[in-house]
C-alpha cells in the first residue's frame, strides 16, 4: 500500500515509525513532516489547506490511504474531500470533528445524552457570563469555545481570576476562539487520557495514558500542549475503562450517528476520574500528542489494518494486542515555550541518546540544517522509553535526555511521578 501521513509533530513521527513497520506498506510519504519523520518517510511540501492539491498528489502517486494526524485539517474537512474523490482517509468528517472544534457542541451533546461531564453554561456576552460566575462562585473553569491548541482554558481558583479570564477572552485573548465562552463546574479528581478507535458504530478501546499539561515540575506554570506522558494510566482500572466505554464513548457514538455525523477515527476523551466515576473534560478527534508516542511504543499489532477497519466500518470483530510493559515520554522544548522561543538552535547527541536500552526518540519541531538537527518549534523532541515498570522507563528516558546536548532546550524532570509514587507504595 501507498500511504500519505499528514502532520509534523511528535505524534506524527510516532505514527510514521509504526506505519513504516507494517509489512503492508510499500511507500510512505509525510507532509510536511520533520527531520525525524524523514528517516521513516519521504517528506513532501504540500499545502494541506489546498485539498485539491492533496487529492492531485494522491492520484499521481496512487496513494491508497491518507492518515491525518492533527485536528486543524480534520476541522477543515480534508477527510470529506478525500473521500469524495474516492481516496480512503483516516479521521473524522468535518461535521464529526466538531466534537473537538466546538466545546459548546460537545457540552450540548453530553447534556442531551446524559453523558457525565461538568455542569456548564454557554455565553456570547461578558456581562451575562460574569453574573453566572458570581452566582456560582470559585473555583470555576472558563473555556474559549473554538480551537486554541489546548491553551484556551482558565481554571480559576478565585472569583477575580474568573472575571479577568472573561475580559481576556472577550477582548480576543484567544482570537476568534473566544467569541463564545463556556463556563463550567470545577471537577476534582485525577485526569486520564482515554482513546477509542471508532468506525461510526463500533469502538475499540486503545491503551490509556496520562499526560502532564503544565510546563514546570510539580505540575506548575501555564498549560502547554503536553510536556510528557506515560501509558498505561494506573487510575484507569478495567472497571473504569468499562464505565468509560458504557457511559461516555458508546452514547457519544450513538448520538453522533443519530445526528447523521457518524464518528470514524480516534476519539480521545480527556477524563476526570471523580469520586462518582469518569467524567468527560473534553473530546479531541485525533491521537493525543505526546500520548500517541507512548501508545505506538506499546502497540504490538500492525496499526495499518486497524486504521483500515475503522474507515471500512469493520471494527466489530477487530482486536489489537499491546505490550504489557509501560512506556513513558519526556518532551524536550525550546526555552521560553509555551511563550516565545528561538528557532534554529543546534541539537547534538541524538545518536548516543538513542542507544539507551528501550529508547526511541521521536522528533516534533526539528529540521535538518547543514548536516545537523536544529530546533524548529516549541516542543522539539520526545524522548520515549519502555521498561518493566514506569520507574524503569523513566530512568531510561532521562538517561537518554542527559546524552542530548541542546543548550537552548529544557524538559520537566518529573514525568511519571504519579505512577512512580504508586509503584513505590505497592512494592
Ligand atoms: P481542556 O483543554 O478542556 O482539556 O482543559 C485543559 C485542562 O484544564 C484540563 O486538562 C484540566 O486540567 C483542566 N480542566 C478543564 N476543565 C476542567 C474542569 N471542569 N474542572 C477541573 N479542571 C478542568
Ligand atoms: N496531550 C493532549 C493533547 O494532545 O491534546
Walk me through the domains of the chain, giving residue ranges and CATH numbers. Answer: 2-91 (3.40.50.20), 125-179 (3.30.1490.20), 190-312 (3.30.470.20), 327-425 (3.90.600.10)
Position 223 scores a pLDDT of 85
Atom 2 of ligand 2, residue of closest alpha carbon: 288
Q: Is the pLDDT of residue 94 over 70?
A: yes
Q: Is the pLDDT of residue 33 over 60?
A: yes
Residue 90 or residue 148, greater confidence: 90
Q: Which residues 6+ apart lie within 8 Å of 350 measured at CB?
A: 361, 373, 381, 404
Tally the C-alpha atoms within 13 A of residue 288's C-alpha that lie toward its C-beta: 33
- 212-257 pLDDT, tens per residue? 999 999 999 988 989 999 999 999 999 999 999 999 999 999 999 9
Ligand 2 pocket residue status of 150, Cβ below 6 Å: yes
Ligand 1 pocket residue status of 186, Cβ below 6 Å: yes
Q: Is the pLDDT of residue 172 over 80?
A: no
Element holding 203 (H helix, E strand): strand 203-205
Contact by Cβ (8 Å): 14, 291: no
* Centroid of ligand 2 to alpha carbon of 291 (angstroms): 7
Burial category of 324 from C-beta neighbours within 10 Å (exposed 0-12, middle 13-18, buried 19 and up): exposed
- 341-385 pLDDT, tens per residue? 999 999 999 999 999 999 999 999 999 999 999 999 999 999 999
Confidence of residue 75 (pLDDT cuts 50, 70, 90): very high
Q: What is the average pLDDT score of the chain?
A: 95
* Centroid of ligand 1 to alpha carbon of 93 (angstroms): 25
Q: Strands of 277-284's sheet, edge to edge?
A: 203-205, 190-199, 264-274, 277-284
What is this structure's pTM?
0.94
Distance in angstroms (rounded) separating the CA atoms of residues 142 and 156 = 7
Distance in angstroms (rounded) separating the CA atoms of residues 242 and 230 = 20
Q: Is the pLDDT of residue 178 over 90?
A: no
Q: Which of 176-185, 242-251, 276-285, 323-332 has the lowest mean pLDDT?
A: 176-185
Contact by Cβ (8 Å): 11, 295: no
Confidence of residue 180 (pLDDT cuts 50, 70, 90): confident
Ligand 2 pocket residue status of 289, Cβ below 6 Å: yes
Distance in angstroms (rounded) separating the CA atoms of residues 215 and 137 = 27
Confidence of residue 427 (pLDDT cuts 50, 70, 90): confident
Position 104 scores a pLDDT of 85
Which residue bears the cell 534554529? 344
Q: Is the pLDDT of residue 150 over 60?
A: no
Ligand 1 pocket residue status of 270, Cβ below 6 Å: yes
Ligand 2 pocket residue status of 226, Cβ below 6 Å: yes
Distance in angstroms (rounded) separating the CA atoms of residues 250 and 419 = 28
* Centroid of ligand 1 to alpha carbon of 281 (angstroms): 6
Q: Which atom number of ligand 2 is nearest to the Cα of residue 211?
A: 1
Ligand nearest to the CA of 148: 1
Q: Is the pLDDT of residue 175 over 80?
A: no
Confidence of residue 147 (pLDDT cuts 50, 70, 90): low
Contact by Cβ (8 Å): 309, 199: yes
Distance in angstroms (rounded) separating the CA atoms of residues 143 and 53 = 35
Distance in angstroms (rounded) separating the CA atoms of residues 414 and 379 = 17
* Centroid of ligand 2 to alpha carbon of 210 (angstroms): 10
114: how many CB neighbours lie within 10 A of its CB?
Answer: 9
Mean pLDDT along residues 186-193: 96
Cell of 148: 486554541
Probe target for ligand 2 pocket from 12, 281, 290, 382, with the most ligand atoms within 8 Å of CB: 290
Probe target for ligand 1 pocket from 155, 156, 192, 219, with the most ligand atoms within 8 Å of CB: 155
Torsion angle of the four alpha carbons 181, 102, 235, 388, in this order, in degrees rounded to the nearest 10? -130
Atom 4 of ligand 2, residue of closest alpha carbon: 288
Mean pLDDT along residues 22-32: 98
Entry field: residues in the chain: 427
Q: Is the pLDDT of residue 148 over 70?
A: no
Mean pLDDT along residues 2-16: 98
Residue 104 or residue 234, greater confidence: 234
Ligand 1 pocket residue status of 118, Cβ below 6 Å: yes
Atom 5 of ligand 2, residue of closest alpha carbon: 288
In DSSP terms, which residues pair with 274 in a beta bridge?
277
Q: Which atom number of ligand 2 is nearest to the Cα of residue 284?
A: 5
Position 151 scores a pLDDT of 60
Confidence of residue 145 (pLDDT cuts 50, 70, 90): confident
Ligand 2 pocket residue status of 228, Cβ below 6 Å: no
Distance in angstroms (rounded) separating the CA atoms of residues 362 and 397 = 12
Strand 2-7 relative to strand 27-32, pairing: parallel
Atom 6 of ligand 1, residue of closest alpha carbon: 153
Q: Could you give the angle at the alpha carbon of 42 between the alpha carbons of 41 and 47, nearest 5°? A: 115
Probe target for ligand 1 pocket from 141, 146, 191, with the most ligand atoms within 8 Å of CB: 141
Burial category of 320 from C-beta neighbours within 10 Å (exposed 0-12, middle 13-18, buried 19 and up): middle
Q: Is the pLDDT of residue 108 over 80?
A: yes
Confidence of residue 149 (pLDDT cuts 50, 70, 90): low
The phi, psi pair for 415, rounded to 5°, reads -60, 130
In DSSP terms, which residues pair with 30 in a beta bridge?
5, 43
Ligand 2 pocket residue status of 288, Cβ below 6 Å: yes
Ligand 2 pocket residue status of 284, Cβ below 6 Å: yes
Position 222 scores a pLDDT of 87
Which residue bears the cell 482515554? 194
Mean pLDDT along residues 61-66: 98
Q: Is the pLDDT of residue 197 over 90?
A: yes
Position 179 scores a pLDDT of 72
Amino acid at each position: 500500500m501507498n500511504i500519505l501521513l499528514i502532520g509534523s509533530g511528535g505524534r506524527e513521527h510516532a505514527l510514521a515509525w509504526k506505519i513504516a513497520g507494517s509489512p503492508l506498506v510499500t511507500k510512505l510519504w509525510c507532509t510536511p513532516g520533520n527531520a525525524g519523520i524523514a528517516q521513516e518517510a519521504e517528506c513532501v511540501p504540500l499545502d494541506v489547506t489546498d485539498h485539491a492539491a492533496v487529492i492531485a498528489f494522491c492520484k499521481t502517486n496512487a496513494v491508497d490511504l491518507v492518515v491525518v494526524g492533527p485536528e486543524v485539517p480534520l476541522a477543515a474537512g480534508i477527510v470529506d474531500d478525500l473521500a469524495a474523490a474516492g481516496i480512503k482517509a483516516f479521521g473524522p468528517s468535518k461535521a464529526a470533528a466538531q466534537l473537538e472544534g466546538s466545546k459548546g457542541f460537545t457540552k450540548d451533546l453530553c447534556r442531551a445524552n446524559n453523558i457525565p461531564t461538568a455542569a456548564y453554561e454557554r455565553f456570547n456576552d461578558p456581562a451575562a457570563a460574569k453574573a453566572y460566575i458570581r452566582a456560582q462562585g470559585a473555583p470555576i473553569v472558563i473555556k474559549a469555545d473554538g480551537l486554541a491548541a489546548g491553551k484556551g482554558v482558565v481554571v480559576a481558583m478565585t472569583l477575580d481570576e474568573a472575571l479577568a479570564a472573561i475580559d481576556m477572552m472577550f477582548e480576543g485573548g484567544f482570537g476568534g476562539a473566544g467569541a463564545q465562552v463556556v463556563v463550567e463546574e470545577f471537577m476534582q479528581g485525577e485526569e486520564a487520557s482515554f482513546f477509542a478507535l471508532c468506525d461510526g458504530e463500533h469502538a475499540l478501546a486503545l491503551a490509556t495514558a496520562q499526560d502532564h499539561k503544565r510546563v514546570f515540575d510539580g505540575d506548575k506554570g501555564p498549560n502547554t500542549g503536553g510536556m510528557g506522558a506515560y501509558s498505561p494510566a494506573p487510575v484507569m482500572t478495567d472497571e473504569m475503562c468499562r464505565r468509560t466505554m458504557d457511559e461516555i464513548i458508546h452514547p457519544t457514538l450513538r448520538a453522533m450517528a443519530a445526528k447523521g455525523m457518524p464518528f470514524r477515527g480516534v476519539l480521545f476523551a480527556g477524563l476526570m476520574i471523580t469520586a462518582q466515576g469518569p467524567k468527560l473534560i473534553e473530546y479531541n478527534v485525533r491521537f493525543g500528542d505526546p500520548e500517541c508516542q507512548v501508545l505506538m511504543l506499546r502497540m504490538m499489532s500492525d496499526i495499518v489494518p486497524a486504521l483500515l477497519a475503522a474507515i471500512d466500518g469493520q471494527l466489530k470483530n477487530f482486536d489489537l494486542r499491546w505490550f504489557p510493559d509501560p512506556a513513558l515520554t519526556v518532551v524536550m522544548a525550546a526555552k521560553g515555550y509555551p511563550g516565545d522561543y528561538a528557532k534554529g538552535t543546534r541539537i547534538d547527541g541524538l545518536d548516543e541518546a538513542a542507544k539507551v536500552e528501550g529508547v526511541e526518540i521521536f522528533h516534533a519541531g526539528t529540521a535538518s540544517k547543514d548536516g545537523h538537527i536544529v530546533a524548529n518549534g516549541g516542543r522539539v523532541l520526545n524522548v520515549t522509553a519502555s521498561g518493566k515498570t514506569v520507574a524503569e522507563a523513566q530512568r531510561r528516558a532521562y538517561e537518554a535526555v542527559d546524552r542530548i546536548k541542546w543548550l537552548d532546550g529544557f524538559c520537566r524532570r518529573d514525568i511519571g511521578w504519579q505512577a512512580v509514587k504508586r509503584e513505590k507504595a505497592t512494592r
